[in-house]
């Protein structure tokens, strides 16, 4: 079954809001084994909406509409589809009662246009809207399925999760659901990952293997349609094993969690604590780690020593290490090591990590943009210092530097 | 001029990511006086992409593509469009040099597929990609305009803002340009702002007034189509004055800069320095301020004291202030004040700011989620402490808390 999602709303075309509904509906449809081949956004305009319906019918079996079910003049979806199909509209009695009751109970005069939210296209099933007034419509006609849902996410989401899904399932006797597993990788770039999996990617039929980059990390989605969870897991496990043979050392999770969450979990499991000292990343590492709920058990905090003075004042690093003739400088292996060791001692934690480098856009200490040193200090062990050369703009360099540091910490924790 | 935005990427159809690019491009095109009539999303499939191009050509004058410019097998946009138009592809020399240099400088072997990022459709203009490797293509052919941009937002956004916009402007001689001014507000929520401007918003014709929320701040875009910059400025200035009469105390910029940048500018102008002590915000304030290039002149760094121990170890705050019978607790006005004062003294800066509160999802010290205290300490002056009750999830509370702190600091700097 092929589906197209049609989001109706001029505010989308003006760029006033982001189309989160398309994403939610796509995930939901995929979980039901329905392939989404197109997503379209069209404005509150009858002629163009009609055209979109026409095109949709030529290339999909199911059209899912979101938006245009409200009471205002611009809300056209039911009217346009009914007209296109040559069908009438009638009022859904129980929805009308709810609307009247709502206005009555507030002592408000009901503006006539509110009635339109109770409209049903002849022959459709009502899709209940628990969080709003506009009733959804589910219609099967001439070999096509049409599902009309409201625009506001707080109404649309429970509707597709509940009565919407039930309606679709009742129409889809033969679809096999799509099962996916998401693998997360760190310490490897997207091109490199693809290159190392190229034989699997080129040969793929079922399951499918799809790599993509996401916020400084890379992911691979392995998907298959199967009759049962057990069968799907068997097929997926086989591919995952083949992927692990090639790049297993970079695989940090088999679910969609960020690298920092995997690090916090490992710290939690071994009852260790972490502190950090950041220079070029300016607080980003601390922010990402503290984004993980409950991380205060593992992460105590740290310092942002953005200037040489602060490295001296907060971490006790001698100015002669940082400035002057022959000094290694703030951006050096030895400074990275000192920062990690000092913050570990100060906070009395098991691990201390540090980052110092050149985020850009200008060079610093005569060193190039993208050069970053980071260190992992561990109680009772030798401090490990790493160097990397990163590309991208300032923000991307900072994010990649933090992810690189977290990857090395993850490796160190795994080896214990 | 009518435009269609075509986003290419199977990850969009699977619902793995949200199509934020469509929003960004829509806003940009509107600001150039270009009407977006459709947005389409299609997968990494040559046949369907080709179909989408065909449909796009039938209903728009400008097709803006995002996605599918990368090095992998799934990246097809240039290939499919070139094939559709019967044109060849050639390598853009300077992009190829950059790619080779990047791999060379890291001592890495360049995977052949990376070359594809330097592809140019015959007859097109290169659209420079400062933040990535794939060169954009701008093509005028047979009365149509085609603009091909990469998918990753961090690459796409600067490209459409810079060379992409310049290319479009060069092609749009007859459009009455849309002039806009973006006003940025802080310390006021979106509904509140709209309520205070409701008379202007309801009565608007030209210029148009559009409020919207963006990353913890609120903005109002005032737009008009006019024959000249002078005429546009006159019309816009008039509306801006009316807005200022109503909510001027919250207006921190008349350009699209984040609040932290306005704060850094004020610090720079008065040659003052800032340090921060963060608890619940976990490094986010430091990260946002250091995102502002050149901020090391104004922001020296600070501490992330995520646990009570760290507040004691790094800032010297007595444990009796933080824990035990009758202690005010970490989340209190007095602790916020102490944190701001101590970090200011430690770093020897003009200002110290602090945040301590409950980001959620659970309560802390018996205090409710969303309660945040923040303080502004200034050399030689009385420390100001503020309290706020924020809503939203953990991430939203942290972001709003930081923005609330920056707003009060901005106010304090403005009053000098």
Q: What is the ipTM of this complex?
A: 0.71
Cα–Cα–Cα angle for A92, A5, B165, nearest 5°?
Answer: 130
- Please tell me the predicted confidence (pLDDT) of residue A104: 80
CA distance B111 to B105: 15
Nearest CB to A41: which of B12, B38, B347? B38
- Residue A214 and residue B73: Cβ atoms within 8 Å? no
What is each CA distance from B163 to A233, A273, A274, B157, in whole angstroms? 47, 47, 44, 10
pLDDT at A256 over 70: yes
H-only helix segments in B111-220: 153-159, 165-171, 190-196, 198-203
Q: Is A16 on the interface with B (CB under 8 A)?
A: yes
- CATH number at A178-253: 3.30.70.2860
- Tokens 């970090």 -> residue: B343
For every residue of B71-121, DSSP letters joined together read SSTT--HHHHHHHHTT--EEE-HHHHHHHHHHHHHTTPPPPGGGGGGGEEE
User: How many angstroms away from the CA of B290 is the closest CA of chain A?
Assistant: 6
Predicted TM-score (pTM) of the model is: 0.72
Q: According to CATH, where is 3.30.70.2860 located in chain B? A: 178-253
CA distance A336 to B7: 42
Q: Which of these, A323, A302, A324, lies nearest to A312 by C-alpha position?
A: A323
- Tokens 């002078």 -> residue: B230
- Structure tokens belonging to residue B23: 């929003």
Beta bridge partners of B212: B219
Q: Per-residue pLDDT tens for A377-407?
A: 999 999 999 999 998 889 889 999 999 999 9
Q: Per-residue pLDDT tens for B186-228?
A: 988 877 888 899 899 888 888 888 776 766 788 888 888 787 8
Q: According to CATH, where is 3.40.980.10 located in chain B? A: 2-171
Mean per-residue pLDDT over chain A, rounded: 92
Q: Is B365 on the interface with A (CB under 8 A)?
A: no
Binding-face residues of A in 251-290 toward B, CB within 8 A: 275-276, 278, 281-287, 289-290
Query: What's the average model confidence in pLDDT over B8-28?
Result: 92
Q: Per-residue pLDDT tens for B304-313?
A: 999 999 999 9
Split at pLDDT 50, 70, 90, the class of B32 is confident
For every residue of A219-244, DSSP letters joined together read EEEEEEE-SSHHHHHHHHHHHHHHHH
Beta bridge partners of A388: A372
Q: According to CATH, where is 3.90.950.20 located in chain B? A: 259-415
**H or E element that contains A213:** strand A208-214
- CATH number at A259-415: 3.90.950.20
What is each CA distance from A89 to A77, A83, A119, in whole angstroms? 12, 9, 6
User: How many angstroms away from the CA of B326 is the closest CA of chain A?
Assistant: 23
Q: B107 burial class (0-12, 13-18, 19+ CB within 10 angstroms)?
A: exposed
| CATH class label, B2-171 | alpha beta
CA distance B43 to B7: 8
């Amino acid at each position: 079954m092929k589906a197209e999602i049609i989001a109706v709303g001029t505010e989308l075309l003006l760029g006033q809001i982001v189309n989160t509904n398309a994403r939610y509906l796509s995930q939901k449809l995929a979980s039901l084994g329905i392939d989404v081949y197109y997503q379209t956004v069209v404005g509150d305009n009858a002629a163009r909406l009609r055209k979109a319906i026409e095109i949709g019918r030529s290339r999909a079996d199911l059209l899912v509409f979101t938006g245009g079910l409200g009471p205002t003049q611009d809300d056209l979806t039911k009217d346009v589809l009914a007209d296109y199909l040559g069908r009438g509209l009638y009022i859904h009695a129980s929805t009308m009662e709810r609307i009247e009751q709502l206005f009555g109970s507030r002592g408000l005069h009901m503006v006539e246009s509110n009635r339109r939210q109770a409209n049903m296209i002849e022959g459709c099933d009502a899709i209940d809207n628990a969080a709003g007034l506009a009733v959804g419509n589910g219609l099967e006609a001439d070999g096509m399925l049409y599902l009309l849902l409201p625009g506001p996410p707080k109404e649309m989401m429970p509707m597709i999760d509940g009565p919407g899904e039930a309606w679709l399932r009742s129409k889809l006797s033969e679809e096999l659901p799509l099962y996916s597993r998401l693998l997360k990788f760190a310490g490897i770039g997207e091109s490199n990952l693809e290159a190392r999996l190229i034989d699997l990617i080129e040969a793929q039929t079922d399951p499918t293997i799809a790599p993509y980059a996401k916020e400084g990390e890379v992911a691979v989605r392995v998907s298959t349609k199967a009759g049962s969870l057990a069968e799907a897991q068997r097929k997926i496990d086989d591919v995952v094993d083949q992927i692990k043979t090639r790049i297993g050392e970079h695989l940090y999770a088999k679910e969609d969690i960020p690298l920092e969450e995997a690090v916090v979990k490992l710290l939690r499991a071994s009852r260790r604590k972490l502190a950090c000292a950041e220079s070029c990343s300016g607080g980003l590492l601390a922010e990402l780690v503290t984004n993980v709920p409950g991380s205060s058990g593992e992460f105590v905090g740290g310092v942002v020593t953005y200037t040489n003075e602060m490295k001296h004042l907060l971490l006790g690093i001698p100015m002669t290490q940082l400035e002057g003739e022959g000094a290694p400088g703030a951006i050096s292996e030895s400074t990275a090591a000192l920062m990690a060791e000092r913050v570990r001692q100060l906070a009395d934690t098991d691990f201390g990590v540090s980052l110092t480098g050149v985020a850009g856009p200008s060079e610093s200490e005569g060193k190039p943009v993208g050069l970053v040193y980071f260190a992992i200090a561990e109680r009772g062990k030798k401090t490990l210092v790493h160097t990397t050369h990163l590309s991208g703009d300032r923000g991307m360099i900072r994010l990649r530097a933090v992810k690189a540091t977290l990857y090395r910490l993850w490796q160190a924790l795994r080896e214990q």
